[in-house]
Amino acid sequence: MAVLVAGLLSAGGTANATSIYAGNGMAASPAIDSAQPSIVPKTVVLDATNSEDITRSKSGNRLLNEFSQRMQAKGITALKSTEAMTSQYDVISVDLAKILPDSRCKRGTESLILPKSTTEVRYIGGPRNEQDGTNPCMVTVEWDDQDPDPQAQDDPQSRSEKAVGILEAPYVEQYHEYCAARKTYTGFWEEPCYKRFVLKYDGNSTWNYYSFEAWNTCQANVLLGELISCGRGQEAAADSPTLYSVDFSPQNPSTGNCRAVSYEVQLYNAFTVGGSYNHCDEQRVYDYPEPGKMSTYYKGQTEYLRTTRHQVSVKVAQNDGRPQWTNWFNGETCSYIDGGFCI
């Protein structure tokens, strides 16, 4: 069981979490009722038969330019030319009504922006785990991507310090960052990102210490509608070396007006990494028994942009290479026209 303080549903699997959150009655997805039959999600892997590469089309260029400007505003990357963006990112058109048909759901064509290092993308129709509620029209996007150097031995110096008589000062190094984006036919958009860190010269000859910072930003842009949920999570990928938990943050859910939420995780000894961001309304936090697995959610009702953010730290045997991660993100909006519907 996991605890609502950090869910990837792999195809055919179910992730459970125990909640310490008392619901506040807002119009988010209803809590799971144990008397109701569970909703079995459907998972579809994107490929050339069910999606289209529109990177070099006019619409693809426009989406990449908008994405580049937002990434620059977030401090993720410098503003890049369209040609530079098309060499690093793919823009994929997905007909959601075709790949995840469901008569209960309003679905159309949407766009994904993904770095070319992405190795697989999966769409999940229906709640991927119980933290996502019971909305059968919920859509979660999962992806795997290639670490720039998965077999890197990030801290071999720790094994030879005594032999060479050199004592380097420990420091935390960010070695990778990644953002993606999704825009639906209604105008709803979300942008999940991550940063990866390693502790260098830690003096430990057995373990390497890593951290994974993840967040998702969502905005409804739905006519007469509102954003009610924005979720982000990660877990060890199938090809990851064995991970061992060290820390996660934030560790407690919170609710209230817009406020600073801090997150900081311990790596080894006194070394930490973290930050803070502005969170409005409710944040739900889930920690799971699987090392490195965590998810957080914004919950509320708003027309404005909202973010959820968290961080984990893990250790890996020193000669096993870097952690590999599977990511997921989702969001929900509700419209109050045409009889009212949520997607």
* Closest C-alpha to 80, from 149, 188, 179, 174: 179
Q: Within a domain: residue 185?
A: yes
Residue 4 banded pLDDT, cuts 50, 70, 90? very low
Say yes or no to pLDDT of 60 above 80.
yes
Sequence-separated (6 or more) residues with CB below 8 Å from residue 164 = none
How confident is the model at residue 149, as a pLDDT? Answer: 86
Q: Within a domain: residue 222?
A: yes
Q: How many domains does the chain have?
A: 1
Q: Within a domain: residue 21?
A: no
CA distance 231 to 328: 8
Q: Within a domain: residue 114?
A: yes
Geometric angle at alpha carbon 150, from 144 and 153, rounded to 5°: 155
Encoded tokens for 174: 């960010």
Domain span at 279: 42-342
Encoded tokens for 62: 């426009």
285 compared with 72, residue with greater pLDDT: 285
Q: Within a domain: residue 22?
A: no
Q: Is the peptide bond before 115 cis (omega within 30 degrees of 0)?
A: no
Q: What is the mean pLDDT of residues 24-39?
A: 38
Q: Within a domain: residue 11?
A: no
Do 109 and 184 touch, CB atoms closer than 8 A?
Answer: no
Q: Within a domain: residue 16?
A: no
Say yes or no to pLDDT of 193 above 70.
yes
Q: Given CA atoms 68, 71, 73, 78 in this order, what sign does their dihedral have?
A: negative
Q: Within a domain: residue 4?
A: no
How confident is the model at residue 180, as a pLDDT? Answer: 95
Say yes or no to pLDDT of 22 above 60.
no
The pLDDT tens digits for 208-248 are 999 999 999 999 987 778 999 999 999 999 999 999 999 99
Say yes or no to pLDDT of 27 above 50.
no
How confident is the model at residue 339, as a pLDDT? Answer: 66
CA distance 219 to 233: 18
Do 4 and 19 touch, CB atoms closer than 8 A?
Answer: yes
Residue 80 banded pLDDT, cuts 50, 70, 90? confident
Say yes or no to pLDDT of 270 above 50.
yes
